[in-house]
Amino acid sequence: MKRSTGRSDDAAAARVAYEIIVVGTSWGGLAALRAIVGALPPEFDIPMVVVQHRHRDSDALLARFLQDHTRLRVCEVEDKQTVEPGRVFIAPANYHLLVERGYFSLSTEAPVRYSRPSIDVAMTSAAVAYGFHAVGVVLTGANEDGAAGLRHIAANGGLAVVQEPESAEVDTMPRAALEAVPTARVFALERLADFLGSLPSAHAPARRPG
Amino acid sequence: MPGPPTGYSPDLERVEIELLLEGVYRQYGFDFRSYAYASIRRRLWKRVEAEGLRNLSELQARVLHDTDTMERLLLDLSVNVTAMFRDPLFYVSFREKVIPLLRTYPFIRVWHAGCSTGEEVYSMAILLEESGLYDRARIYATDINDVVLQQARRGIFPLERMQEYTENYIKAGGSRSFSECYTAKYDGALFDQRLVRNVVFAQHNLVTDRSFSEFNVIFCRNVLIYFDKNLQNQVHSLFYDSLVRFGILCLGSKESLKFSKYDACYERLDTSEKIYRKVR
């Protein structure tokens, strides 16, 4: 039976195996992403998607930067790339990233709320494709992108997580996300990696349900 | 953001979308059934909202009974955002890696598949003109949608984007003054019609139409991303059959043959841009 809200006490979370995590951030995101990705254990195997607002001409610098801080494999997504465990997937600049069941699609449709990639677009597609196996995480940022996407993840039974606004470099984005999903789990930045690392993964054979 | 009300079942939504696309295909012949799901889902919901409807089933009824709604939906589903010299570094690479190869041909046939409103057709024409190759080139610019082709033929683009396009042109290695390519008129920039003297604009549907010639270059950037994997393979088969031996295939910067069945038939000509040469 699907859970109907984003709330997940630890007992409920333990029964659900997660298949994808979508992390969204803008202003202040670089430091926050480094803190989280850098602290994930090397055996972490839930595919993690990172949507970071940046200039349309940005190259693969973000992927290289994060790769320097983790043993997980970091890459910029190409169209129709397979969703694989143990990897961090970066949404390329100037494209929307859409999550399909098992793979990614890219799109050059118009920016949403001035953003491309849009966190809302990525999270909503993950909610549709993965339902209660999806996790959305909204971090620091100076706009309200991510709030609608996180609401979709929660509405489809997935897990909503928000960086504690007081610990965010800019709190606009986490506050908007919390307003959209008041039941979201809230963590200070330094505790987020631990929490994500503790989530049951659908890819870990020992924990695979059924 | 357009989308279903909270609590709308994704399973029901998928049923509705499949039925709608099946109906559009059988009634109008446009086949969107193998388009990438997440993106087409977004576009359909945008149309639901724009029409003031409540759900996808209502959109299905209206589209099937009203051709005007179908035309609006067709625009939603087929128009993609484009820009002149989009991804300027692609054009730098094209200049360096492809132009020297094209110089060896007495006549150059270019197929620009999915040209939308034509910004990138004019970009390619400018590049070929500057390389001194344009007079022996012909560009076949095709799109599924006749409305955007008419726009492309007119060659009038929004004036407010000229600053961005000028920057792109310079980053793309352009050597002249970009403003000489157009005349400012009212709120539009009218491009020199001599630039399209060797362009043939024509309607062509990548999903249902066949190859219509043999080409030295096929240019199809950020079009296949809207197709699912099977349809991508089908179109790659069409491109493969339409390219001469050693013909050039240009894809978008974040597209790849790696996830298709045709990876082994081509070699990469550039390490960063997706410029391929058919080798077998």
Q: What are the residue ranges spanned by the domains of chain B?
A: 10-78, 88-278
**Main-chain dihedrals φ then ψ at residue A24, nearest 5 degrees:** -120, 140
> What is residue B168's DSSP assignment?
H
In a domain, A106, yes or no: yes
Q: Looking at domain B88-278, which CATH architecture does it have?
A: 3-Layer(aba) Sandwich (3.40)
Between positions 114 and 143 of B, the ones with CB within 8 A of A are none
Q: How far apart are CA B219 and CA B143, in angstroms?
A: 12
Contacts with B7 from chain A: Cβ below 8 Å = 4, 155
State the best of B6, B42, B77 to mutate against chain A, taking most chain A CBs within 10 Å.
B42
Per-residue confidence (pLDDT) for residue B175, from 0 to 100: 86
**Model confidence at A1, in pLDDT bands (50, 70, 90)?**
very low
pLDDT at B39 over 50: yes
Per-residue confidence (pLDDT) for residue A7, from 0 to 100: 46
Q: How far apart are CA B95 and CA B69, in angstroms?
A: 43
Query: Average pLDDT, whole number, for chain B?
Result: 94
Per-residue confidence (pLDDT) for residue B150, from 0 to 100: 95
pLDDT at A136 over 70: yes
In a domain, A200, yes or no: no
Per-residue confidence (pLDDT) for residue A14, from 0 to 100: 52
**Model confidence at B79, in pLDDT bands (50, 70, 90)?**
low
Which domain covers residue A159, as residue numbers? 22-187
CB contact under 8 A, B3 and A152: yes
Per-residue confidence (pLDDT) for residue B2, from 0 to 100: 66
Domain count, chain A: 1
Query: Cis peptide leading into A117, omega within 30 of 0?
Result: yes
The pLDDT of B213-226, averaged and rounded, is 96
CB contact under 8 A, A78 and B36: no
pLDDT at B1 over 70: no
Parallel, antiparallel or unpaired: strands A104-107 and A96-99: antiparallel
- Least confident range of A7-21, A125-139, B54-68, B128-142: A7-21
Per-residue confidence (pLDDT) for residue A203, from 0 to 100: 80
In a domain, A209, yes or no: no
Q: What is the pLDDT of residues A142-152, one digit of tens each?
A: 999 999 999 99
The pLDDT of B198-206, averaged and rounded, is 96
In a domain, A207, yes or no: no
Query: ipTM score of the complex?
Result: 0.90
The pLDDT of B9-32, averaged and rounded, is 95
**Model confidence at B187, in pLDDT bands (50, 70, 90)?**
confident
pLDDT at A210 over 70: no
Per-residue confidence (pLDDT) for residue A204, from 0 to 100: 65
The pLDDT of A100-125, averaged and rounded, is 95
Nearest chain A residue to B167 by CA distance is: A57
Angle at B135 between CA B134 and CA B141, to 5 degrees: 55
Nearest chain B residue to A150 by CA distance is: B6
More confident residue, A202 or A5: A202
Beta bridge partners of B110: B139, B217
The pLDDT of B98-123, averaged and rounded, is 97
**Residue A147 is encoded by which pair of tokens?**
């709030």
In a domain, A86, yes or no: yes
CB contact under 8 A, B1 and A124: yes
In a domain, A148, yes or no: yes
A-B Cβ pairs (cutoff 8 Å, strict): 89
- Least confident range of A71-80, A186-195, B2-11: B2-11
Q: Is any Cβ of chain A less than 8 angstroms from the Cβ of B42?
A: yes
**Main-chain dihedrals φ then ψ at residue B141, nearest 5 degrees:** -105, 115
Per-residue confidence (pLDDT) for residue A6, from 0 to 100: 44
Question: Any idea what the CATH number is for the domain that residue A172 is in?
Answer: 3.40.50.180
Edge-first strand listing for the sheet containing B188-191: B156-158, B188-191, B182-185
The residues of A annotated with a catalytic role in the active site are 26, 53, 145
Q: Is any Cβ of chain B less than 8 angstroms from the Cβ of A145?
A: no
**Model confidence at A209, in pLDDT bands (50, 70, 90)?**
very low
Which of A110, A120, A128 is the closest to B38 by Cβ?
A128
pLDDT at A208 over 80: no
